[in-house]
Structure 1
Amino acid sequence: MVLWNPCTGQSNLLPKLTDHCIPQFRGFGFNSTMKFCGFGYDSTNDDYKVVRGYNHRVRGSKETVVQVFSLKSGSWRTHEGLGYFFFAGPGCLLNGALHWPETLFNDFRATGSRIISFDLAEEKFQEMLPLPSQTAMWTCNEIIRFRIWMMKEYGVQESWTEVASLDILRKDSQFSLVTPLCILENGEGLIAKRYDFESLVLYSFKERTFRNVFRTHNKWKFDAVIYRETLVSPITSGITDI
């Protein structure tokens, strides 16, 4: 695993983990291993931390294991006995915690979803924030409309506000994964779109049309994230001279 500052070009090859082996990925079913990760600043301890882990469920046994790398100490810590959660992918940093959407199940049926958070200072899961009841809906003309919501007051369920929506053709929806990244000042949305080829697109919420920004070749896969520019070194956590 490499910690990289795209602003300065500096990188840091993190020490390999030897105390815990993450099981092989097995999909998203009820016998599965779902990996997750994240990175953020712990203001309480003035430290930058890398988080990785997995949610593992097989033959009735289930667990969530989290491993945290501290840039200040230069070492990994492993946390077990945290319960079990059902989520995967990179976490979103806000208010000193990483956040993921989680699907809730009862008797093997999806019953809802929520946002869970991992506090970087205390290194444990904390907030459980319910999501809005409707995030996608069918329309009468074979289009799926994805609704984009914003929680305007952190932790307050009643503050969820729908700010935009985007349309995907029904015939494409089985093969596409759409991830909104941000809404620009001109009102367009920057979207990571996976259909045929993975791409970054600008979506006009007014015209409801896509415009390609970047497209992979040969079906290469990528993850797109938003980052804040900084001169902090990924090696020492001090300010880098450039």
Structure 2
Amino acid sequence: MQKRNRLESPPHENHAPSPQSSKRSKKAEPSPLFVKPNFPQEIIVEIFSNLPVGSLLRFRCLSKSCKSFIADPFFIKKHLEKTQNDPKFAKKRVLLYACDPRNSNSFRSCSLNAVYKDPSIDSIEVACPTKEFQGFDRIVGCCNGLICIHSRDTLFLLNPTLGIDKRLPDLGFKRRGAFRTVYGFGYDASVDDYKVVRVFTHQIKGFEYASKSIVRVYSLRTNSWRRIQDLAFGTPDDNTGKYVDGSLNWSAFRRQETGFSWIVVSLDLAQETFKEVLQPCYGDGVSDKSLEVLDGCLCVLCNYVGLYIDVWVMREYGKRESWTKLITIPYLSGPGFELFSSRRPLYVSGSDEILLHIGVKLILYNPKENTFRIPVIDEDHIFYIFQAAIYVESLVSPFVINHH
């Protein structure tokens, strides 16, 4: 007997129904969309996996079978895969932590496609539980549609597309001496788990330049924290780890006889071990460097104050010879660009136009024409942009690890 498609409605009986049963069956009749599901399961998956999340959420109301299908772990992964490989970036959005003209901070999001193409861009507010803390929030990282946010020693995972969030268990630690705490968020594909990492560095009593970095990892699967090996490569300089290819990466300072050197430290999320990432030769005259991610690649920005910024990318993660100088960006000055106080590349379009967060503004730089333009984003709600990140719309939940 042929197995019935999971979305298929039950076969009709051959006998004529009574008037009462006819009324009941009419009430329970499934949506017309699923009355004749004659397509093979593979075709249905293919069609639905190309739809935006908003449409899929509306389809959940059509029938129980449809709701179950959309919540299926295999389908969620398939949909995510299609979204991430979409060359038109129609399902990508820009998350903004911004201040409005009334000096009130909030998270908002807008379409990445609109930022590149529209003269005026609308934004929507992202419901975030950190509002109750009334502090300055920080975007720890974005991964597969999930966003990790830190606010006053409290961490949250949220999916802004689904409108759901989860508060992570508190660690409960005592502040001691000179200290620094940095975080990171990423995905461990080896066990299908999302992980948040906290590196707590404190000064060792009696030693002016000696410090110890204690590392703890949160697993979404177990909903718990545990301690792993200490970080022995130096003192982290980044507030947030950069997620690339199953690893979290921080810039750090390592003490040497002649002073301090700027290094890149990597944590393999599967092995939970640290190593140093080898860098290219940047040349002379670099005043400072910062670690970023661009187009899924590890990226270093070399700042030549008052002149320009060089953008280097590691095309193949872990291979030193794959470092390439991607672009040189001329220096900007004026209100909102104060000494490039914040500089972060966010996205490169198919035409090589690069979206940057510089100072408190988003900027689009066209290297072919050597021109800048400032996208106009919802001036009623966005005055200054403190942080910006790119995320994808997905069905991934901060509560459930989806297994196939």
TM-score range, shorter chain: 0.7 to 0.9
Superposed counterparts of 1:83-122, under 5 Å: 83=232, 84-107=234-257, 109-111=259-261, 113-122=262-271
Match of 2:388, as an amino acid? A
Q: Contact 2:312/2:327 (CA < 8 Å) preserved in 1?
A: yes
The 3 A distance-change label for structure 1 pair 160 and 108 is same
The 3 A distance-change label for structure 1 pair 152 and 80 is closer
> Is the partner of 1:222 in helix, strand or coil?
strand
- Range with bigger deviation, 184-193 or 56-65: 56-65
Identity of aligned residues (%): 31
The 3 A distance-change label for structure 1 pair 50 and 163 is same
Match of 1:200, as an amino acid? L
Which of 215, 224, 229 does residue 393 from structure 2 map onto?
A: 229
For 1:203 and 1:53, locate their aligned partners in 2 and report how far apart those are by CA, in whole Å. 35
Q: Contact 1:167/1:208 (CA < 8 Å) preserved in 2?
A: no
Identify the structure with the greater helix proportion: 2
The 3 A distance-change label for structure 1 pair 185 and 175 is closer
Match of 1:191 in 2: 356
Superposed counterparts of 1:1-242, under 5 Å: 1-18=155-172, 20-23=173-176, 33-57=179-203, 59-79=208-228, 81-83=230-232, 84-107=234-257, 109-111=259-261, 113-134=262-283, 135-137=302-304, 143-169=306-332, 174=339, 176-194=341-359, 198-205=360-367, 206-214=369-377, 216-217=382-383, 222-238=386-402
Q: Contact 2:279/2:323 (CA < 8 Å) preserved in 1?
A: no
The 3 A distance-change label for structure 1 pair 22 and 167 is farther
For 1:22 and 1:186, locate their aligned partners in 2 and report how far apart those are by CA, in whole Å. 48
Identify the structure with the greater strand proportion: 1
> Could you say which structure has the greater relative contact order, defined with CA pairs below 8 angstroms and 6 or more residues apart?
2
For 1:150 and 1:204, locate their aligned partners in 2 and report how far apart those are by CA, in whole Å. 18
For 1:169 and 1:44, locate their aligned partners in 2 and report how far apart those are by CA, in whole Å. 43
The 3 A distance-change label for structure 1 pair 137 and 82 is closer
- What TM-score does the superposition give when structure 2 sets the normalisation length? 0.49
Q: Contact 1:35/1:88 (CA < 8 Å) preserved in 2?
A: no
> Is the partner of 1:186 in helix, strand or coil?
coil
Q: Contact 1:40/1:50 (CA < 8 Å) preserved in 2?
A: yes
The 3 A distance-change label for structure 1 pair 161 and 182 is same
Match of 2:361, as an amino acid? S
For 1:125 and 1:228, locate their aligned partners in 2 and report how far apart those are by CA, in whole Å. 28
Deviation at 1:235, TM superposition (A): 0.9
Deviation at 1:156, TM superposition (A): 1.9
Deviation at 1:3, TM superposition (A): 0.4
Give unpaired runs (5+ residues) of structure 1. 25-31
Per-residue CA deviation, residues 135-185 of structure 1 (Å, 9 max, x unaligned), is 3336xxxx4210111212222222211111112247866462211122122
For 2:253 and 2:349, locate their aligned partners in 1 and report how far apart those are by CA, in whole Å. 29
Give unpaired runs (5+ residues) of structure 2. 1-154, 284-301
CA radius of gyration, larger in: 2
The 3 A distance-change label for structure 1 pair 182 and 104 is farther
For 1:3 and 1:200, locate their aligned partners in 2 and report how far apart those are by CA, in whole Å. 25
For 2:315 and 2:352, locate their aligned partners in 1 and report how far apart those are by CA, in whole Å. 18
Q: Contact 2:215/2:230 (CA < 8 Å) preserved in 1?
A: no
The 3 A distance-change label for structure 1 pair 226 and 163 is same
- What TM-score does the superposition give when structure 1 sets the normalisation length? 0.77
